[in-house]
Amino acid sequence: MDFTDSTEEAAFRAEASAFLSQHLQPKKGAASRSGNYLQRAKDWQKVKAENQFAQITWPKEIGGRGGSPMQQVIWNQEESKFDAPTGPFAIGLGMCVPTVIAFGSDEHKKRYVQKALFGEEIWCQLFSEPAAGSDVAGLKTKAVKDGDDWVINGQKVWTSGAHYSDYGIVLVRTDPDVPKHKGLTMFIIDMKQEGVDVRPIHQASGGSEFNEVYFTDVRIPDSDRLGEPGMGWKVALVTLMNERLAVGGSPGPDWAEIMDYARSSGSMSDQAFRAKLADWYVAAQGYKLTKFRTQTALSKGETPGPENSIGKVITANHLQDICNSAIEMQDHYGIISDKDHAPADAIFQESFMWAPGLRIAGGTDEILKNIIAERVLGLPQDVRVDKDKPFSAF
Amino acid sequence: MNFDFSDDQKFLRDEARKFLEAQCTSAHVRAVLDDDAMSHNDEVWQKIVEMGWLGAAIPEEFGGLGLGMLELCVIAEELGRVLAPVPFGSSAFFFAEAIKLAGTEEQKAEWLPKVADGSIVGCLATTEGPGALSASSVQTTAKDGTLSGTKVPVTDGDVATHAAVLAKEGSGTGLYIVALDQDGVSRKSLKTIEPTRSHAEIKFNGASAARLGQETGNGMSVLDQIMNRGAVLLAFEQLGGASRCLEMATEYAKERHAFGRPIGGNQAIKHKLADIYVKNEVARSNAYYGAWALSTDAAELPEAAAAARVAASEAFWFASKENIQTHGGMGFTWEVDCHLYYRRAKLLAVQAGSPAVWKEKLVSALEAKNAA
């Protein structure tokens, strides 16, 4: 056992790190959102693409590096040490464009892949709906064939980056008279066209990082279909499989931050706090070290085991618990989120309000536990009363 | 990045699993459970002795196989899976590690070959009463090469031939090696919640004893280091038990039907088993880190061992109790093995310091590190 890179990995890490320090500032705290963030993101994406760092595992023919998954992990680790504006491209390049590559025509690939890779066009993913979250195959946005076009009507929700996206992949119902998974079709959609109405969601946390997207008689040419009509669910599974390996840091304050605060505020003598701190450390280490196990498999060229499925179940609850305890440690004063007053720049208060969303986004705690139970442990699927009946019957 | 066991170590694991599944079945464990006179299963013990596993981490010059700590971790996990009713941990994790860590060259030469070939069985005798162990709670006293006092309970104390005993020594403490078959020692078996591992009350009345190592007065700090090593090994034993509990619960949840379908189709059961899986993986990753720290003598060993121990104690406890719950009424019968894991989980969680003790050790280690 060791935690060191192989010779090749070390060489790649050094190359990546040298490149990054030429172009970016080391990160202090959270990534900076200041200035024209979107433009900075586009500029950085272009620089990465020009130097074959944009998509490490993509083949060279389409602008990738032809590298290994382990090299992508190393790149992500190194890039996360710098103040890199990567957010706007994560979903497009991580999920949408790979779907276009897998199911699109040669014309699609020629038209879209390079522009996305070089940061000229941004993509979003339009799956979730107000009545179709965990059960996304129950979505209602419909597409009706009209000549060589399809006409789309309906509503999507929780669409990250829809307001600045140029294109999206959208999953819609094209046949309501078959069981729900069999009546779906995937399309490429031009987000700037008439009939697409993007409205920001005012989140419970106060911010607006997500959108609702309304479609009113939006026309999509049949040539922008990805996969056969009715095959949309299979296409969507490929999209979701392409979610990039989560290798980033923790999404907010962790045991070290609350320990720093406890020391500065004289709370380290509280025995109950010390016991909780130990639990948080064990959970955080468990998560971090489990990723090392996954990386070990990648490094050996093996398929990682199912152990990485524990990630978000741990981190989201962990974050919520730490923030809650930090606020309670501050007693009445803990209610203040004004950075002029709140300790630690109010990171605990901010993440406290963000944590409920983290437990839902990208699969709720409950859905993730279902996935572990069904796919890892092999337990029976939940009862699905709508499984074999036409969608229109419900 | 190579955060995994080697192919050779995985081969050892597979071989150990095959061997133990054949040679250490539930019936072998239950033979000890159902017979108050049996301290351990000697048939299983002799076979394990023949495998040479007791010497896995003992250098060849001292009669061991000279493999290493990672190999001993692998064996520990497999012994935990089958609830091996033998004094392996007492002899190999604690007694042998104590001598390796603190013994003089003469003591190593005298005792390690005998641990390795099974001609002696060692144990660790520290506890004297309820509550966490501390220097001030030790009443057993060493003076002029003799030992007086009472240790209770001593895990495997009635099968062991020798004990490493913590005793007062002047104003400090020391660890002493004591032969248990001498006149100055009397032993009584104890009734415990875990009868498949025997426990004894041991009274020392001027028993002849030899100090472990040459330094005086530093018994507690030596014990602390021994515990760090034992904690990692115990964590693997716990992990083996926890993994087996999840398998048992999962198998049962697939087979047992209620309301017309397998109970494992209900989210209340699915989520329970997913929770066990998550805790087990957290325990596994922390145990691997402990194994790395142990095998490389890393400066991180104190926090790595403590985290491994805390995670494994929580995982085995949770898995063992929810395994019973998943089995329903069947799980509360003597004949179904669930309670054997529940019993063992609690022994392994409090032997060598309870979770509260290890949480405190962990936080102290983090404080010491951040202060530097």
Mean predicted confidence (pLDDT) in B12-40: 97
The owner of tokens 């590298």 is A67
Q: Which domain range does residue A178 map to? A: 123-241
Using one digit for the tens of pLDDT, what is the confidence trace for A311-351?
Answer: 888 999 999 999 999 999 999 999 999 999 999 999 999 99
pLDDT score, position A29: 67
Does A106 map to a domain?
Answer: no
Which amino acid belongs to residue B154?
Answer: V
Q: Which pLDDT band holds residue A248 (cuts at 50, 70, 90)?
A: very low
Gap between the Cα atoms of B162 and B181, Å rounded: 8
Sign of the C-alpha dihedral computed for residues A245, A251, A254 and A256 taken in this order: positive
B370 close contact with A: CB closer than 8 A? yes
Gap between the Cα atoms of A334 and A328, Å rounded: 6
Per the model's pLDDT, the better-predicted residue between A250 and A23 turns out to be A23
Question: Looking at chain B, which residue has its C-alpha nearest residue A367?
Answer: B271
To the nearest whole angstrom, how far is the Cα of B339 from the nearest Cα of chain A?
22
Indicate the burial class of A341 (C-beta count within 10 angstroms; 0-12, 13-18, 19 or more): exposed
B1 close contact with A: CB closer than 8 A? yes
The owner of tokens 């497009």 is A92
B217: left (phi over 0), alpha (psi -120 to 50) or beta: left
Asked if A2's CB is within 8 angstroms of B2's CB, the reply is yes
Closest in B5, B261, B277 to A376, CB measured: B277
pLDDT score, position A136: 94
Gap between the Cα atoms of B307 and B315, Å rounded: 12
Sign of the C-alpha dihedral computed for residues B281, B282, B283 and B289 taken in this order: positive
Contacts of A126 (CB under 8 A, 6+ apart): A156, A159, A162, A168, A169, A170, A171, A189, A213
To the nearest whole angstrom, how far is the Cα of B350 from the nearest Cα of chain A?
16
pLDDT score, position A247: 37
Closest in A282, A376, A381 to B282, CB measured: A282
Question: Nearest Cα to B248, choosing from B273, B280, B285?
Answer: B273
Single residue among A183, A207, A241 that ends a domain in this structure: A241
| pLDDT at A281 exceeding the cut of 70 | yes
Within 8 A of A379 by CB-CB distance, chain B residues are 250, 253-254, 262, 264-265, 269-270, 273
Within 8 A of A366 by CB-CB distance, chain B residues are 267, 271
- Tell me the average pLDDT of chain A: 92
CATH number 2.40.110.10 given to B122-218: yes
Using one digit for the tens of pLDDT, what is the confidence trace for A111-130?
Answer: 999 999 999 999 999 999 99
| pLDDT at A32 exceeding the cut of 80 | no
Cα separation values, A213 from A121, A127, A195, A210, Å: 18, 11, 10, 10
The angle subtended at Cα B167 by Cα B166 and Cα B170, nearest 5°, is 140
Within 8 A of A376 by CB-CB distance, chain B residues are 277
Percent of residues, chain A, with pLDDT higher than 70:
97
Q: Dihedral (C-alpha) A66, A69, A71, A73: value to the nearest 10 degrees?
A: 140
Contact A302, A240 (CB under 8 A): no
| pLDDT at B250 exceeding the cut of 80 | yes
Q: Which of residues 22-41 of B touch A (CB under 8 A)?
A: none
Does A388 map to a domain?
Answer: no
pLDDT score, position B22: 98
pLDDT score, position B1: 83
Contact B324, A329 (CB under 8 A): no
Cα separation values, A12 from A18, A70, A77, A94, Å: 10, 10, 12, 21
Q: Which pLDDT band holds residue A201 (cuts at 50, 70, 90)?
A: very high
Looking at chain B, which runs of residues are DSSP E strands? 122-125, 141-143, 146-155, 162-169, 172-179, 185-189, 199-211, 257-258, 261-262
pLDDT score, position A246: 43
Asked if B310's CB is within 8 angstroms of A282's CB, the reply is yes
Q: Which residues are bridge partners to A146 per DSSP?
A: A149
Mean predicted confidence (pLDDT) in B10-14: 98
Question: Looking at chain B, which residue has its C-alpha nearest residue A10?
Answer: B1
Percent of residues, chain B, with pLDDT higher than 70:
99
Contacts of A197 (CB under 8 A, 6+ apart): A213, A214, A215, A216
Asked if A295's CB is within 8 angstroms of B3's CB, the reply is yes
To the nearest whole angstrom, how far is the Cα of A160 from the nearest Cα of chain B?
29
Q: Which pLDDT band holds residue A249 (cuts at 50, 70, 90)?
A: very low
pLDDT score, position A240: 82
**Structure tokens, A126:** 């339009």
Q: Where are the domains of chain B?
A: 7-116, 122-218, 220-371
Q: Which pLDDT band holds residue A4 (cuts at 50, 70, 90)?
A: confident
Using one digit for the tens of pLDDT, what is the confidence trace for B123-160?
Answer: 999 999 999 999 999 999 999 999 999 999 999 999 99
pLDDT score, position A31: 65
| pLDDT at B175 exceeding the cut of 70 | yes
pLDDT score, position B72: 98
The angle subtended at Cα A91 by Cα A85 and Cα A96, nearest 5°, is 140
Q: Which pLDDT band holds residue A244 (cuts at 50, 70, 90)?
A: very low
Within 8 A of B1 by CB-CB distance, chain A residues are 2-5, 9, 70, 292, 295-296, 299
Indicate the burial class of B300 (C-beta count within 10 angstroms; 0-12, 13-18, 19 or more): middle
Question: Looking at chain A, which residue has its C-alpha nearest residue B298?
Answer: A2
| pLDDT at A209 exceeding the cut of 90 | no
Mean predicted confidence (pLDDT) in B203-221: 95
Using one digit for the tens of pLDDT, what is the confidence trace for B280-321?
Answer: 999 999 999 999 999 999 999 999 999 999 999 999 999 999
Contact B125, B151 (CB under 8 A): yes
Single residue among A184, A214, A241 that ends a domain in this structure: A241
pLDDT score, position A152: 98
Domain co-membership, A136 together with A173:
yes
To the nearest whole angstrom, how far is the Cα of A66 from the nearest Cα of chain B?
21
Single residue among A39, A67, A85 that ends a domain in this structure: A85
Question: Looking at chain B, which residue has its C-alpha nearest residue A309?
Answer: B278
CB atoms within 10 A of CB B344: 25
Within 8 A of B307 by CB-CB distance, chain A residues are 281-282, 285
Closest in A259, A274, A373 to B273, CB measured: A373
Domain co-membership, A56 together with A134:
no
Closest in A293, A313, A366 to B3, CB measured: A293
pLDDT score, position B356: 97
Mean predicted confidence (pLDDT) in B229-257: 98
Domain co-membership, A262 together with A294:
yes
The owner of tokens 């472990």 is B212
Using one digit for the tens of pLDDT, what is the confidence trace for A366-387?
Answer: 999 999 999 999 999 998 899 8
Contact A201, A214 (CB under 8 A): no
Contact A171, A232 (CB under 8 A): yes
Contacts of B104 (CB under 8 A, 6+ apart): B213, B214
Asked if A282's CB is within 8 angstroms of B277's CB, the reply is no
Asked if B286's CB is within 8 angstroms of A289's CB, the reply is yes
Within 8 A of A314 by CB-CB distance, chain B residues are 278, 282
Gap between the Cα atoms of B340 and B333, Å rounded: 11
Does A95 map to a domain?
Answer: no
pLDDT score, position A262: 96
B311 close contact with A: CB closer than 8 A? yes
Q: Please count the residue pairs, one from chain A and one from chain B, whose beta carbons lie less than 8 angstroms apart.
A: 155
Does A168 map to a domain?
Answer: yes
Mutate to test the interface with A, among B7, B247, B285 (most CBs of A within 10 A): B285
Domain co-membership, A142 together with A210:
yes
pLDDT score, position A335: 97
Gap between the Cα atoms of B46 and A159, Å rounded: 65
Asked if B70's CB is within 8 angstroms of A293's CB, the reply is no
Does A354 map to a domain?
Answer: yes
To the nearest whole angstrom, how far is the Cα of B255 from the nearest Cα of chain A?
10
Mean predicted confidence (pLDDT) in A275-294: 95
Mean predicted confidence (pLDDT) in B1-7: 92
| pLDDT at A43 exceeding the cut of 50 | yes
- Tell me the average pLDDT of chain B: 97
Does A374 map to a domain?
Answer: no
- B215 three-class SS: coil
- Please give the tally of structural domains in chain A: 3
Gap between the Cα atoms of A22 and A35, Å rounded: 20
State the architecture of B220-371 in CATH terms. Answer: Up-down Bundle (1.20)
Mean predicted confidence (pLDDT) in A9-26: 96
Asked if A259's CB is within 8 angstroms of B366's CB, the reply is yes
Q: How remote is the C-alpha of A210 from its chain's centroid? A: 12
Using one digit for the tens of pLDDT, what is the confidence trace for B260-279?
Answer: 999 999 999 999 999 999 99
CATH number, span B7-116? 1.10.540.10
Does A167 map to a domain?
Answer: yes
Asked if B1's CB is within 8 angstroms of A299's CB, the reply is yes
The angle subtended at Cα B288 by Cα B282 and Cα B291, nearest 5°, is 140
| Helix, strand, coil % in chain A, rounded to nearest 5 | 50, 15, 35
pLDDT score, position B153: 98
For position A231, which CATH number holds? 2.40.110.10
Phi, psi angles (nearest 5°) of residue B211:
-65, 135
Closest in B270, B282, B359 to A370, CB measured: B270
